[in-house]
Every structure is written in C-alpha cells, then in structure tokens.
C-alpha cells in the first residue's frame, strides 16, 4: 500500500487528529469487515443496515483490495435482486436487519409489481448506474493479483454481462424513451442526492395526498443533529411519491404518466455514459459481443451529447430539466460538472468548466479544508455546509471524479483529488459526508462506501 500521501498533523475544532495512512487503510478494512452481512455489506451499521445499489458498487471496489472473490459476491447479490424488466432496485433488504424505514412493507413491491422478485425483498426505484464502472475497477485490481483472482474476475464478467446489459437497456429505453440523452428520475432518491437543491422546484410541485399513511422516521434517530437531514415536509413528499408508484403497480409506463416528479438528471446521465463505455471496454476483450458493444457505444455517445446539450451559457454548468414544467433547473450543485465526467463539450466550453471547478466558487474556495467538490457551491446563497446534499463534501463523489479524470487522461487532476480527499478522511471516522470548512464528520460514521473508496485510494 502507498504511504506517501500527506495528511494533516493537527485537527480543526470538532475533528479528530489525522492518523497515518497505514493505520487509515487498516481501519477502512476493519469497517468493511464489520459491516459485512455475509453476502452483502450494510451501507452503514445503524442508519443504513441493508444493501443500497450504488453503495454496493463503490463498496465492491474497496472490498476487491481485500478479496476479489468477496467483491464479486457483493455485486452478485445485487444482480440476483434484479427485476425482470432489467431494473436494479435501489435497496435490497437484508432479512437480518429490521426496523429500517421505509422498509419492504411500505414499498410492497413483491405484492404490487409483477416484475419484482419474490425474494429478496427490494424497493421499487433505482439509483445511478455505477456498477459497470465498479466491475471494470475490480477487473483491474484482479489483474494485479493472482492467477486465481484474474480467473474469478474474468468468469464474473461473463456471468454479469447479460444482467448489466439488461440494466443498461432498461435505463436507455424506459428512462429515456424519447432519446434525449438524459435519464429521467421519478424520485430524488433515484439520483442518490436526496435533498439536493436540484430538486427543490420539482418537489414544490408534488402535492401530498390526504391518503398518505402515517409513518415514523428512523433516520433522525441515528444522527447527532437531525437538522442535517431532510425535513419532515420533504419526507412527506418522498413518501407520497412512493404511494404514487404503488398505485401505478410500479409499471414503468404508468409511472411515467402519473408520477408528480419527472426530472432529467444530468449527473446520472453522465454516469450512464461512463458506465456504457466501461462495459463496452470489458466486452472488447471478449469475442461474440459485437452487437452489445455497438449498442453500448451508441448509448454512451447519445448520453454524452444529451449531457453537453444541457449546458447553461450563463452559469457554465450543466442543468437538469423538469419534464412536468418544461423548465431547465439551473441550481449551482456539483451535478453541473457532469460534462467533465463523461466528455462531450467543445474544447472552449470544457476549459471554462474546468476553470470553474478549480475556482474560488468551488474546489478553490479559500475556506475549504480540502480542495474537493462540495455538493453545492460555497458561493451560492443557499449553501448549507452541514445539511446532507446542500453543501457537505462526499468522499465517494470525489472518488468518482478522480476516477473519471484519470480515465479522461487528466492524471494530475485525478491524483490531486485523491490526495485532497485523503486529507478529508484522515481522521479515520469514515463519515457519510463532511463539513467542508472544518472537516467535521457528519451523518453516519463507519460508512462502508467511504471506507471502500479510501481503501482503493490507498492501495
């Protein structure tokens, strides 16, 4: 493991002292092992005791540094919960864990959706398609290891190919039926960025019906300050959208027609373009997949173009689009940098976006403890440094940008994000997210995906 990364020697207020990188790696490995439920890894020991779709992908990347075989099991567990439509659900519920809300009874997928598996129980929505990216990274890790690791990884690519193709096809056809090159989400949870300012305007259009069943939140019981989490009013809307999907039987066409929330997600679309290319790259190494590879490349180009077409000439950022109102959403969040993840911009526009990424409005803000992208611009009036997706820094997102930058040939940029991110996580708490000014760990601690990306950076 690498031990040359600089970490801070003293801690700001509310922050534990940094530990050495060898100790940091050992702690990250311990977190992943402690959160291991056997064939899946809990996203966090108390707050998130089940498997989350995009968490599982990032977690598998870190686990591969410990055991390629166990990393493969992680993704296999998720793929085994795939719906017959091709959708990968955003939660796969562990029968070992109870008490989480909203649980499988609230979703009712096995009872209401013919496409849902009877077991394991799942939720009825999806999350960003980072899984092919994770698979490619596992293969890269395996190829640095033993012959057995290489064989295991190659065999898994063959087994995972059809499920991942079905997942990508479902996204391309069911979430972009008009071929715009931008995926539609029907819930902020599908983006992974639950209460981002990106969704404020679309959520205002969600009118909660009187028939919303009563509920008791559990998430606020496991964090130090409940004000950092989405509000009860926001949660009402989240749950109402689930009710709408239940009433539609989770049928894709009916959900498109009836859901109060329908937004083209520019960041999820950029991730999809990356994932299509990653899967196609893996396919290039194998014979007999020409038609699939051709389709993947077409999707990748379609979504790169769709992301680039959303560029706002005023802010220099990419935009989501609310399909219910027809309005572009110009909020200043890190999702606006989607085009530099997947490419597609002209050289001049790309240079301007990279300069903005480095500027004092974003990673170059003088108050930041680490020069990594916060979830919203510190220069924006609505910036909230401690409130979930409204300002804090998320190491897992920094990993995604670092990986994409390296893939695009910007090795120095990728290495810089890695080094700065390691400074952020150097206290060894592996928090869900961090205060960008003080580095205080926020949300859930011992978060599996934070430990996983840390371990991948250090190995």
CA distance 338 to 128: 13
Look at residues 100, 96, 91 and name the one whose alpha carbon lies nearest to residue 121.
Answer: 91
Q: Annotated catalytic, 194? A: yes
Of 53-57, 218-222, 258-262, 421-425, the least confident: 218-222
Query: Which pLDDT band holds residue 224 (cuts at 50, 70, 90)?
Result: low
Q: Which of the residues 55, 176, 190, 194 is marked catalytic?
A: 194
CA distance 231 to 237: 10
In this structure, are residues 284 and 315 in contact, taking their beta carbons and an 8 Å threshold? no
Each residue's pLDDT tens digit, 265-322:
999 999 999 999 999 999 998 877 999 999 999 999 999 999 999 999 999 999 999 9
pTM: 0.94
Q: Is the pLDDT of residue 7 over 70?
A: no
Alpha helices per DSSP H over 175-261:
188-191, 200-204, 232-247, 252-258
Pairing of strands 433-434, 183-185: unpaired
Q: Is the pLDDT of residue 221 over 90?
A: no
Query: Which pLDDT band holds residue 14 (cuts at 50, 70, 90)?
Result: low
Q: Annotated catalytic, 358? A: no
Q: Which of the residues 176, 320, 387, 432 is marked catalytic?
A: 432
CA distance 164 to 377: 34
Look at residues 457, 455, 360, 459 and name the one whose alpha carbon lies nearest to residue 414.
Answer: 457
Residue 105: burial class (beta carbons within 10 Å; 0-12, 13-18, 19+): exposed
Mean pLDDT of the chain: 94
CA distance 194 to 192: 6
The values of phi and psi at residue 396, to 5°, are: -65, -35
- % of the chain beyond a pLDDT of 90: 87
Tell me what the mean pLDDT of segment 54-65 comes to.
98
Q: Is the pLDDT of residue 227 over 80?
A: no
In this structure, are residues 56 and 78 in contact, taking their beta carbons and an 8 Å threshold? yes
Tokens of 259: 């859901």
Query: Which pLDDT band holds residue 220 (cuts at 50, 70, 90)?
Result: low
Of 58-72, 211-225, 249-263, 406-420, the least confident: 211-225
In this structure, are residues 371 and 364 in contact, taking their beta carbons and an 8 Å threshold? yes
Q: Is the pLDDT of residue 13 over 70?
A: no
452 DSSP 8-state letter = H
Specify the 3-state DSSP secondary structure of 430. Answer: coil
């Amino acid at each position: 493991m690498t031990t040359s990364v600089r970490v801070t020697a003293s801690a700001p207020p509310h922050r534990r002292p940094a530990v050495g990188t060898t100790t940091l790696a050992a702690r990250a490995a311990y977190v992943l092992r402690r959160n291991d439920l056997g064939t899946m890894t809990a996203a966090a020991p108390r707050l998130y005791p089940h498997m989350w779709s995009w968490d599982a992908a990032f977690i598998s990347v870190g686990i591969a540094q410990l055991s390629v075989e166990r990393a493969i099991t992680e993704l296999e567990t998720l793929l085994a919960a795939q719906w017959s439509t091709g959708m990968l659900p955003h939660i796969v519920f562990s029968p070992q864990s109870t008490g989480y809300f909203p649980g499988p009874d609230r979703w009712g997928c096995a009872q209401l959706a013919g496409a849902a598996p009877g077991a394991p129980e799942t939720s009825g929505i999806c999350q960003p398609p980072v899984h092919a990216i994770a698979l490619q990274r596992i293969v890269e890790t395996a190829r640095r290891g033993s012959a057995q690791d290489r064989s295991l990884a190659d065999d898994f690519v063959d087994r995972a190919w059809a499920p991942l193709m079905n997942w990508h096809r479902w996204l391309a056809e069911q979430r972009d039926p008009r071929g715009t090159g931008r995926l539609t989400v029907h819930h902020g949870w599908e983006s992974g960025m639950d209460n981002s300012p990106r969704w404020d305007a679309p959520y205002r259009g969600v009118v909660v019906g009187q028939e919303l069943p009563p509920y008791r939140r559990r998430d606020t019981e496991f964090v130090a300050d409940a004000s950092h989490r989405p509000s009860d009013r926001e949660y009402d809307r989240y749950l109402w959208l689930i009710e709408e999907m239940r009433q539609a039987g989770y049928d894709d066409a009916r959900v498109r027609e009836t859901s109060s929330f329908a937004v083209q997600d520019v960041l999820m679309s950029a991730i999809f373009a990356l994932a299509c290319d990653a899967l196609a790259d893996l396919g290039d190494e194998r014979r007999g997949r020409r038609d699939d590879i051709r389709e993947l490349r077409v999707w990748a180009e379609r979504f790169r173009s769709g992301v680039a077409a959303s560029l706002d000439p005023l802010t220099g950022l990419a935009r989501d689009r609310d399909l219910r109102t027809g309005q572009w959403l110009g909020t200043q969040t890190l999702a606006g940098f989607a085009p530099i993840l997947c490419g597609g911009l002209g050289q001049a526009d790309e240079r301007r976006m990279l300069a903005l990424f480095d500027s004092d409005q974003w990673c170059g803000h003088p108050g930041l403890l680490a020069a990594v992208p916060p979830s919203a611009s510190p220069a924006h009036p609505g910036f909230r440094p401690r409130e979930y997706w409204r300002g804090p820094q998320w190491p897992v997102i920094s990993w995604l940008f670092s990986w994409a930058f390296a893939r695009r040939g910007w090795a120095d940029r990728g290495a810089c994000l890695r080094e700065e991110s390691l400074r952020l996580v150097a206290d060894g708490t592996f928090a869900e997210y961090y205060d960008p000014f003080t580095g205080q760990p926020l949300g859930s601690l011992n978060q599996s995906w934070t430990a996983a990306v840390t371990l991948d950076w250090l190995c």
